[in-house]
């Protein structure tokens, strides 16, 4: 049987927010696909710990520590690609601001929500695209949206607005970059059982994963009656980067266990 060729082996990817949760799962999946990966994350501790684990597994990973809202740090992260690697042609924008406020949100709250999610997204994308050829770049970008981008949720005004902006950014950028051979898509995950969500459910609600997934107001909101694992979001992201998705651009892929279907 002929094996599918994803067109990822030997290529270089940049992953923002790649030191934790979904980001770390994306990095691992890209490495398994044969990619070189630049991890751009503001958490030096998480990044260095994971870098050593990845290297122990034989993965080709380079860590760049910095903030996506800092233009100098963004420029350095993309320019810091090891000289013996191919130039980056794959980008995954995961860094975001997690601010959950309603109408009481202050200007500082809005800045904390929007600057990493939208300003940082635009800075990283601009720097990444600057290193691509003007035509036939054969490049792909995936941005992180959320089911919250599609619905209204009480007390989530800042977060939902920032993620809805990611959808608009993705569509506009897909149109702008298509003539250069760059595809741009987004994914909208449902609740993912990562370290932050585990901490919230245990400390704030007193629920372990099984209890949280069994609760109608938590896991019961999803048709599959459970939360996602980070790897279940990483796989669709890597698919959108690959040549198997070569005719997909300007699209949002809902990885939500059926949440938005009802």
Residues 216-242 have a mean pLDDT of 97
Using a pLDDT cut of 90, give the percent of the chain over it.
87
As a whole number of angstroms, the distance between CA 113 and CA 162 comes to 7
Question: Is residue 218 situated within a structural domain?
Answer: no
Residue 6 in this model has a pLDDT that exceeds 50 = yes
d(CA 71, CA 123): 7
Tell me: the pLDDT tens digits for 52-75? Answer: 888 888 999 999 999 999 999 999
Tell me the CA distances in angstroms from 17 to 6, 144, 172, one per residue in order: 24, 10, 23
pLDDT in tens, 184-195: 999 999 999 998
pLDDT reading at 5 higher than 70: no
What confidence tier does 125 reach under pLDDT thresholds 50, 70, 90? very high
What band does 130 get if pLDDT is binned at 50, 70 and 90? very high
Torsion, Cα 44 45 46 50, to 10 degrees, reads 100
Residue 219 lies in a domain: no
d(CA 85, CA 107): 42
**pLDDT at residue 3 is higher than 60:** no
Residue 77 lies in a domain: yes
The answer to whether residue 159 is catalytic is: yes
- Given a cut of 60, whether residue 2 has pLDDT beyond it is no
Grade residue 89 by pLDDT with cuts at 50, 70 and 90: very high
The tally of domains found in the chain comes to 1
| Cα–Cα distance measured from residue 179 to residue 173, given in angstroms and rounded to the nearest whole number | 11
Residue 213 located in a structural domain: no
Give the range of the structural domain holding residue 127, as residue numbers without chain letter.
12-192+228-255
pLDDT at 4: 47
pLDDT-derived band of residue 1, with 50, 70 and 90 as boundaries?
very low
Is 66 domain-assigned? yes
Is residue 174 one of the residues assigned to a domain? yes
The number of residues in the chain equals 262
Answer yes or no: is 146 within a domain. Answer: yes
Q: What is the C-alpha separation between 199 and 23, in angstroms, rounded?
A: 18
Q: Is the Cα torsion angle 123, 128, 134, 138 positive or negative in sign? A: negative
Residue 237 in domain: yes
pLDDT, averaged across the chain = 94
| Sequence-separated (6 or more) residues with CB below 8 Å from residue 148 | 156, 159, 160, 163
The phi and psi torsions of 110 (rounded to 5 degrees) equal -65, -40
Catalytic residue among 59, 156, 159, 259: 159
CATH code assigned at 163 = 3.40.50.720
């Amino acid at each position: 049987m002929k094996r599918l060729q994803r067109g990822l082996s030997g290529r270089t990817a940049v992953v923002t927010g790649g030191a934790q949760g979904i980001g770390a799962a994306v990095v691992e999946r890209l490495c398994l696909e044969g990619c070189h990966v630049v991890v751009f994350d503001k958490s030096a501790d998480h990044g260095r710990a994971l870098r050593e684990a990845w290297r122990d597994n034989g993965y080709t990973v380079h860590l760049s520590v910095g903030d996506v809202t800092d233009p100098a740090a963004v420029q350095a992260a993309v320019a810091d690609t090891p000289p013996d690697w191919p130039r980056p042609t794959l980008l995954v924008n995961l860094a975001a601001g997690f601010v959950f406020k309603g109408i009481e949100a202050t200007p500082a709250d809005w800045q904390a929500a929007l600057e990493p999610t939208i300003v940082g997204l635009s800075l990283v994308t601009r720097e990444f695209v600057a290193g691509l050829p003007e035509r036939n770049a054969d490049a792909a970008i995936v941005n992180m949206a959320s089911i919250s981008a599609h619905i209204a949720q009480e007390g989530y005004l800042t977060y939902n607005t920032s993620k809805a902006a990611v959808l608009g950014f993705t569509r506009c950028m897909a149109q702008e970059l298509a003539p250069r051979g760059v595809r741009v898509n987004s994914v909208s995950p449902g609740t993912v059982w990562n370290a932050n969500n585990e901490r919230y459910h245990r400390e704030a609600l007193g629920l372990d994963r099984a209890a949280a997934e069994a609760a109608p107001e938590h896991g019961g909101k999803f048709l599959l009656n459970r939360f996602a694992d980070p790897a279940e979001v990483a796989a669709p992201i890597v698919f959108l980067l690959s040549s198997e998705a070569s005719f997909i651009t300007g699209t949002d892929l809902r990885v939500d266990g059926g949440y938005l279907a009802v």
